Amino acid sequence: MAEELDELLDLALVPLRIAVSKPARRTYIGTLLFLATSLLLYGLAAVAYGLFYFNYVPQISLERVIHLQFGDGHPWGNANLGKSLITQQPYDISVHLLLPRSPPNLAAGNFMLDLFLLPTISSGRATPLTRQDAVVSSRRPAILEYASPFIHRVKTAATLPWHIFGFKSETEALDIMMMEDVQFSRGWNNMPKTVQLQLQADEKMQVYKAIVKFHAKFTGLRWIMYNHRIFSFLAFTTVFWFTELLFTAIAVLSISIYTTPSKPPIKTDSGSDSTAIKAEPAQDETAFNDNLLPSDLSDTSRTFPTYSRQPPLRYNKPVREEDKDTARLADFQPFVGEADDEGEEDEEYDDGIVNIGASMKGGRTDSGIGTSMEESSERGGIQRRHSRGP
């Protein structure tokens, strides 16, 4: 019973052991590091998108108040634009005028507005301008809305309480479109830095306020980023995030490759011989023997030892073609002295010594084993055979 309980307990603890094992802990640490790095990189991607948005998408609306100067000719005024405008972006430019419905303004009828966008910063005083001095210029007419005296009295009587408590005044606002879809070429020299407005009328105009308005007309990617901000934020931030992850992975792999320690060299004792033994390339013995010529072999006769109870192998000096005519008979018949026992001696010779001179002509190598003692023993054996006689 106790053994079964131990087995069940071991079986129940198997998942826990797997969960707290060293590979599992290593996996947990790697996962936490990956999540922390991913969150950090996602935050950097969000910051990068914000910087990209504010640098790529300009202000959709820009206003400059013009403080008109009176007393010296037509009213005029300048305002600095700074670096709020960008190149290759269409703009609609308009002028907003707030005028009282005074008798001089009503008597002026139509009046003209001249708008100049200058490439230089305003000097603070009026200067004679021409169309060539400006980056772009425009001239448009304007007029107050007409109302008959009777209609004007009726409207005033109907709105008299509002006039009394200051909720309404006898003013009129005019919005005059001066330029449509104007674009500026690349280069800071083509960007306007000052705007100048002039009012030209036969009567002295009375003006409460004058404002020049720039409205950007977004197209393409700017339109998507401005009108669909949440979608643009998620899409571009994700793209930036994946790009950061890719380059981070490449950097980590590069660092790991260059920082991995190489295997240390094998140390040798100072007293040992460190001279490396040169290994000769292995060759095929058969090919080596087949390529040998008889001239490459030694001309000395040799006797080679064999296994026990086998006759020794004897190699005789090969006979050259030019030496056939002068060769002595003794070189070919070393045992001619025993003619009467020819059959017996030949049998004994065949049993004791095998002549391999002919086979060595076909390319056998000279091993050099047993070149002295075996020869002497062979000579002794031959002499003993001769001494037996009939």
Which residue type does 385 have? R
Residue, of 59 and 384, whose pLDDT is higher: 59
Give the pairing of strands 171-182 and 91-100: antiparallel
pLDDT tens per residue across span 256-267: 888 877 666 555
Q: Where are the beta strands (DSSP E) in the chain?
A: 61-65, 76-80, 91-100, 111-118, 136-142, 171-182, 194-200, 209-216, 302-304, 313-315, 354-355
Place of tokens 């002039």: 198
pLDDT at 152: 80
CA distances from 101 to 205, 261, 357, 372 (A): 11, 88, 142, 145
Q: Nearest CA to 130 among 149, 111, 114?
A: 114
Place of tokens 């006898």: 170
What band does 381 get if pLDDT is binned at 50, 70 and 90? very low
Mean pLDDT of 195-209: 90
What band does 66 get if pLDDT is binned at 50, 70 and 90? very high
d(CA 163, CA 157): 9
pTM above 0.85, yes or no: no
